């Protein structure tokens, strides 16, 4: 009776491919990407099935969405320059500037701009981020 258990063979090319993908994302960049995706998905849950007029009438939803947009902007800002450079097709500058677009220096939040961001920008950002995972 053998004490060793025979492990199934692993497809070497698939293993090398996934290893390469994982090695390009540092631990902190990986965590930040996850934060961005989680924040986008939260916004989608908060606004699912909602019309613009309903969004404009619900201050708690507005506050929650603004908070998640802050997370997206801050996480994108914190990604390493190397990681951003490795993924030039992702609209990093738009994600980084999204916070300033939504919350300008005078703190006068533009709700119509937030709604447009939720409808137009976040779905595209979500697609780009999902390709990295």
List the catalytic residues.
Answer: 99
Residue 91 covered by a domain: yes
Give a yes or no: residue 92 inside a domain.
yes
Domain with 103 in it: 27-130
Query: What does the pLDDT read at residue 105?
Result: 72
Counting residues of the chain whose pLDDT is more than 70, the rounded percentage is 81
> Can you spell out the DSSP letters for 25-91?
S-HHHHHHHHHHHHHHHHHHHHHTT--HHHHHH-HHHHHHHHHHHHHHHHHHHHS-HHHHHH-TTS-
Q: Looking at the domain assignment, is residue 15 inside a domain?
A: no
For residue 31, being part of any structural domain is answered with yes
Ranking 41-45, 57-61, 91-95 by mean pLDDT, the lowest is 91-95
* pLDDT recorded at residue 25: 66
| Number of domains observed in the structure of the chain | 1
Q: Flag whether pLDDT at 85 surpasses 90.
A: yes
- Judge whether 39 lies within some domain: yes
Is 61 within a domain?
A: yes
Q: What is the pTM of this model?
A: 0.77
């Amino acid at each position: 009776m053998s004490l060793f258990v025979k492990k199934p063979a692993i497809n070497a090319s698939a293993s090398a491919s996934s290893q390469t993908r994982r090695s390009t994302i540092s631990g902190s960049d990986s965590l930040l990407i996850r934060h961005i995706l989680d924040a986008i998905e939260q916004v989608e849950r908060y606004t699912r099935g909602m019309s613009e007029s309903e969004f404009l009438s619900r201050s708690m939803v507005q506050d929650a969405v603004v908070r998640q947009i802050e997370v997206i902007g801050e996480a994108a800002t914190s990604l390493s320059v190397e990681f951003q450079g490795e993924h030039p097709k992702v609209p990093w500058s738009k994600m980084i500037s999204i916070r300033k677009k939504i919350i300008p220096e005078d703190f006068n939040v533009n709700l119509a701009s937030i709604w447009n961001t939720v409808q137009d920008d976040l779905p595209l950002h979500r697609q780009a981020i999902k390709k990295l995972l």
